[in-house]
Amino acid sequence: MGFLQWFRENQEDAASQLALPLGNGNELEPQAQHDYQAITQRKHIRDQYEATIQEKMGSGKLRQDPVLGQATEAMTREIFGCGVSDLYKETGSKPKQRNTLPPVAQNAYMVGESFATDALENSDIQGSKDQRRQQIVGKAADAGNRARKRMPW
């Protein structure tokens, strides 16, 4: 079963994960505090992942290189069994706004990006820019495959 089928079957449970209960005043209730910590953790892991790709690609601006998008697409196909655009569309999320994805999908990305960062840090990525790009995308796909094996779908 792929993620989208699993998501459709479990949508009510997944939707309840989106609620952020607010306490009195400015304090967050324990669940909301946990959610805030999870968001911070996801961002930290994403930042590490991007920094590692930048390091392995060498000079140039990562946002101007297609490698990040290619790596994300490869990882998404492995983890979720669909492309990035389908993932966002089928979950009712806003394109290019990961925080609008269901938390379970955000967490799956976090696992995949953690695996990919570790794999990239422990790899000797060499060659031309295209060769380095291919190696990085391959590591992202492998990490997505590893992450998928730990997911409930």
- Give DSSP secondary structure letters for 35-101: HHHHHHHHHHHHHHHHHHHHHHH-SS-GGGSTHHHHHHHHHHHHHHSS-HHHHHHHTTPPTT-GGGS
C-alpha–C-alpha distance, residues 88 and 102, integer Å: 10
C-alpha–C-alpha distance, residues 92 and 129, integer Å: 35
- The structural domains of the chain, with segments of one domain joined by +, span 29-148
CB atoms within 10 A of CB 56: 19
Return the pLDDT at 64: 80
Return the pLDDT at 65: 87
Nearest to 93 by CA among 6, 32, 7, 35: 7
Mean pLDDT, consecutive 10-residue stretches, the chain (153 aa), reads: 91 54 51 76 96 89 86 98 98 95 95 98 96 98 98 95
Residue 22: C-alpha distances to residues 12, 55, 74, 84, 111 (Å): 21, 40, 37, 32, 28
CA dihedral 45, 65, 105, 43 (to 10 degrees): 30
